[in-house]
Structure 1
Amino acid sequence: MTDLDDTTPDATAEHTRGEGLDAHLVVDHDTFRLDITLTAAPGDVLALLGPNGAGKTTALRALAGLTPLTDGHLRLDGTELDRTPPESRPVGVVFQDYLLFPHLSALDNVAFGPRCQGATKTEARAQAADWLDRMGLADHAGAKPRRLSGGQAQRVALARALATRPRLLLLDEPLAALDARTRLEVRAQLRRHLAEFEAVAVLVTHDPLDAMVLADRLVVVEHGQVVQEGTPADIARHPRTDYIAQLVGLNLYKGQAEGHTVRLDAGPAITTTEDLTGPVFVAFPPGAVTLYRDRPTGSSARNLWRCEVAGLETHGDQIRADLAGELPLAADLTTVAAAELDLHPGAPVWATVKATQTHAYPT
């Protein structure tokens, strides 16, 4: 007989520690090296963000078993998967282009996984019908992929991945193939389905909105390394690289703080409301920048820089001005304001930002 006093608490704690994803992915490929650590508990949605070539897809392929690890480890719910072939891993994948079998109906596409796991045709189809019903696609069970809209195909691909009851769900740019209108609707549906998913989900995307809406935690990868991770809110408020700052729409600078003044490593000083000492980042949104053609005399802004318009582009319903000069920065303004200021490449401007609209934080 087992002594419960000796085993139960430790066994429970060990089981809890072993649940979910515990991965150290090291992959060497020609001159590129991926070396990242990923951990997630069951129910977590983890988003991998990064520029092209950062290593996101390599990480996803390593998790799926399609790319072998050079070093490191991959454990899922305490089980080592390093040498487990892809078809034997409890992993579901939704590819960017969905890869539905064109000759099979939606029902049989979804039933494919359960059939591979040993279910009878009748059992597999019953499970598939249930998943299509959950996705709101019961009326499209007999449709071939070519008869489905982009949003419908995405949901069939998700149902096919979930029908195998994976312990790890991998989503490779799952909304990239959709038009803007469909993307909005499907993103909301995907968020609901991921919220109901009880295992670990890893989402690869370059779209910050997809990541912010769908994920519990973001892992930002650049040059094969993790450069920042945290909640969407934390990363949006405290970007630590230029890529992340651009992703969340902030001007970002690095410098040395002395009280309320930050002397930038490259550029002038910035006045902030935070009282800090030592190396810091300073960030502010393009919308915090006010532009003038002549040096302002009545402005209460503590930060004032002489700049030149390097470029203009439409950004949503506004105009984004790319400014060079004392402090390179981006500024957002309305089309009316841009016209009144007669902005054009090469135009001299003065840029102001109030100290209250800046945010400084330690590096």
Structure 2
Amino acid sequence: MTAPSPGTGSPAAGPAGPDSPGLDAHLVVERGAFRLDVRLTAAPGEVLALLGPNGSGKTTALRALAGLTPLTGGRVRLDGASLEDAPPEERPVGVVFQDYLLFPHLTALDNVAFGPRCQGVPRARARALAAGWLDRMGLADRAGAKPRRLSGGQAQRVALARALATEPRLLLLDEPLAALDARTRLEVRAALRRHLADFDAVAVLVTHDPLDAMVLADRVVVVEGGRAVQDGTPADIARHPRTDYVARLVGLNLYQGRAEGRTVRLDGGAAVTADGDLTGPAFVAFPPAAVTVHRERPTASSARNLWRCEVAGLEAQGDRIRLDLTGELPLAADLTAEAAAELRLHPGAAVWATVKAAQVRAYPA
């Protein structure tokens, strides 16, 4: 590993088998009442994101891959080699920690050269390699600067260069953009995407930011409560959420029930008409912007879905108003501020909510 230690579901659709290239891991870690049990696979050149709320086990999984947290059970295989018994410094793994953990007494150049030097590369050669990496990161003019003289974005790129300088077969990134302000995050995210596109080994990104996962990853594994609850491409995750957590992240109303043709009868008793036929256990989802709100029961609406609701709350979100509705079907609705004012909406107001069937997606549970 090239970075200093901070102190010493369903299987993914990737490679499998003891001799397969890439990552094949089953991570079991027990810490008090918490248990992590996640299977991860990824092919060389693939960026895998672990997405989940705080406390879900994402960072524990990353530390287990790095060898910083011991496994209770399971395995870690990389390019066919078993790593679970290898100490961190002997694993072909590079890590970019959330706080970067650059050596404060070393220049940017020497921070990047540290990993190759630990591998036995002569000093002059290691510094030449480091200079090349800093140049690739657009930091050639900052080679002599120490970490305290670097901006957050520059420090992140030095940490990435340090992790890549040893040519790792597994790159681990722990919330790599979390410490940056919004403007810097946008710039560094774009640069990180370019560098990851050129990386020919496996990269695993841990994040709670859905935008980071959607922009940077080829595949996303959603982790909740120590388990993988969903696994797919970013587009599939966004279009077909399978838990309330994911639905909130991507901004959809999500329900579960049983489909009978175009009608899905929900576990709570309500029914939703969707676009397309389906039979059996199903999810239904639609965006808050698809909801039309009326103060009186509409008589001329062509919408197939109609529910009597009550306004539980209103929240301004930019130029829109987010309504929290309860009643026959609890849901979120987005209205313009003008529409909310015209409807004289307030907590406790009785309303009718409609959604066209064409705007409702149903898919197997």
Q: TM bucket by the smaller chain?
A: over 0.9
Q: Which residue in the other structure is 2:39 paired with?
A: 37
Corresponding position of 1:231 = 233
Match of 2:142 among 140, 143, 148: 140
Q: 1:240 to 1:302 in 2, by over 3 A?
A: same
Partner of 1:116: 118
**Residue type of the alignment partner of 1:197:** F
Partner of 2:296 in structure 1? Answer: 294
SS for the counterpart of 1:221 is strand
1:81 matches 2:83: yes
In structure 2, what is the equivalent of residue 4 of structure 1?
none
Decide which of 243, 252, 255 is 1:253's aligned counterpart. Answer: 255
TM-score normalized by the length of structure 2: 0.93
Report how far residue 312 of structure 1 moved. 2.1
> What displacement does 1:316 show?
4.4
For 1:17 and 1:317, how far apart are their aligned partners in 2? Answer: 54
Aligned to 1:332: 334
The separation in 1 between residues aligned to 2:147 and 2:294, in whole angstroms, is 55
Distance in 1, matches of 2:127 and 2:350, equals 67
- How far apart in 2 are the matches of 1:44 and 1:316? 36
| Sequence identity (%) | 79
Deviation at 1:96, TM superposition (A): 0.7
Q: CA deviation at 1:150?
A: 1.2
SS of aligned partner of 1:197? coil
Q: How big is the shift at 1:175?
A: 0.6
* 1:321 Cα deviation after fit: 1.3
Q: CA RMSD in A?
A: 1.6
Equivalent residues, number: 351
- Mapped partners of 1:251, 1:278: distance in 2: 20
Q: Could you tell which deviates more after superposition, 166-175 or 336-345?
A: 336-345
Contact 2:17 2:24 in 1 (8 A): no
What is the CA–CA distance in structure 1 between the aligned matches of 2:130 and 2:320, rounded to whole Å? 46
Selected match of 1:183 from 185, 197, 217: 185
Measure, in 2, the Cα distance between the counterparts of 1:311 and 1:14: 48
Match of 1:265 in 2: 267
Identify unmatched segments of 5+ residues in structure 2.
Answer: 1-14
For residues 19 and 292 of structure 2, the distance between their equivalents in structure 1, rounded to whole angstroms, comes to: 51
Q: 2:359 corresponds to which residue?
A: 357
SS in 2 for 1:193: helix
The whole-number CA distance in structure 1 between the counterparts of 2:148 and 2:320 is: 38
Aligned to 1:170: 172
3-state SS, counterpart of residue 18 of structure 1: coil
Distance (whole Å) between structure 2 residues aligned to residue 247 and residue 308 of structure 1 = 24
**Greater helix percent: which structure?**
1
Structure 1 equivalent of residue 102 of structure 2: 100
Whether contact under 8 Å (2:16, 2:24) holds in the other structure is no
TM (norm. structure 1) is: 0.94
Structure 2 CA distance, aligned partners of 1:289 and 1:27? 43
Which residue of the partner structure matches residue 127 of structure 1? 129
Structure 1 residue 21: deviation in Å? 0.3
How many angstroms does 1:335 deviate by? Answer: 2.1
Q: 1:81 to 1:337 in 2, by over 3 A?
A: same
- Matching residue's letter, 1:355: A
TM-superposed deviation, 1:200: 0.2
For residues 63-114 of structure 1, the C-alpha deviation after alignment (integer angstroms, 9 at most, x for no partner) is 0000111111100011100110001111011111111112211111111111
1:102 aligned counterpart, secondary structure:
coil
2:161 to 159, 162, 165: 159
SS in 1 for 2:344: coil
Moved more, 79-88 or 235-244: 235-244
Distance 1:308 1:162 in 2: 55
Q: Secondary structure at the match of 1:146?
A: helix
State how far apart, in whole Å, the 1-side matches of 2:337 and 2:87 are. 56
- The 1-side partners of 2:330 and 2:180 are apart by 35
Q: Which runs of 5 or more residues in structure 1 are unaligned?
A: 1-12
Instruction: Specify the code of the residue in structure 2 equivalent to 1:174.
Output: P
Q: Give the C-alpha shift of residue 313 in structure 1.
A: 2.1
Q: CA deviation at 1:31?
A: 0.9
Task: Give deviations 1:243-289, integer Å, cap 9, x for gaps.
Answer: 11111111100111111111110141111121112111100011111
Which residue of the partner structure matches residue 201 of structure 2? 199
Matches within 5 A, 1:293-332: 293-332=295-334
CA distance change for structure 1 residues 170 and 14 in 2, over 3 Å: closer, same or farther? closer
Question: CA distance change for structure 1 residues 162 and 317 in 2, over 3 Å: closer, same or farther?
Answer: farther
Comparing 351-360 with 318-327, greater Cα deviation is found at 318-327
Alignment correspondent of 1:6: none
Task: Quote the Cα distance in structure 2 between the aligned partners of 1:267 and 1:183.
Answer: 44
Q: Deviations over 1:39-83 (max 9, x none)?
A: 001000000011121111110010000011111110001110011
- Deviation of residue 326 (structure 1)? 1.1
Which residue type is aligned with residue 322 of structure 1? D
Distance in 2 (alpha carbons) for counterparts of 1:220 and 1:316:
28
| Alignment-mate amino acid for residue 345 of structure 2 | L
Does the Cα contact within 8 Å between 2:18 and 2:80 map onto a contact in 1? no
What amino acid is the match of 1:257? A
Shift in Å, 1:14: 10
Pick from 329, 343, 346 the counterpart of residue 345 of structure 2: 343
Please give the per-residue CA displacement for 1:142-183, whole angstroms capped at 9, x wherever unaligned.
111122111111111101110111100000001111111111
**Counterpart residue type for residue 244 of structure 2:** D
Q: Which residue of 1 aligns with 2:6?
A: none
Match of 1:51 in 2: 53
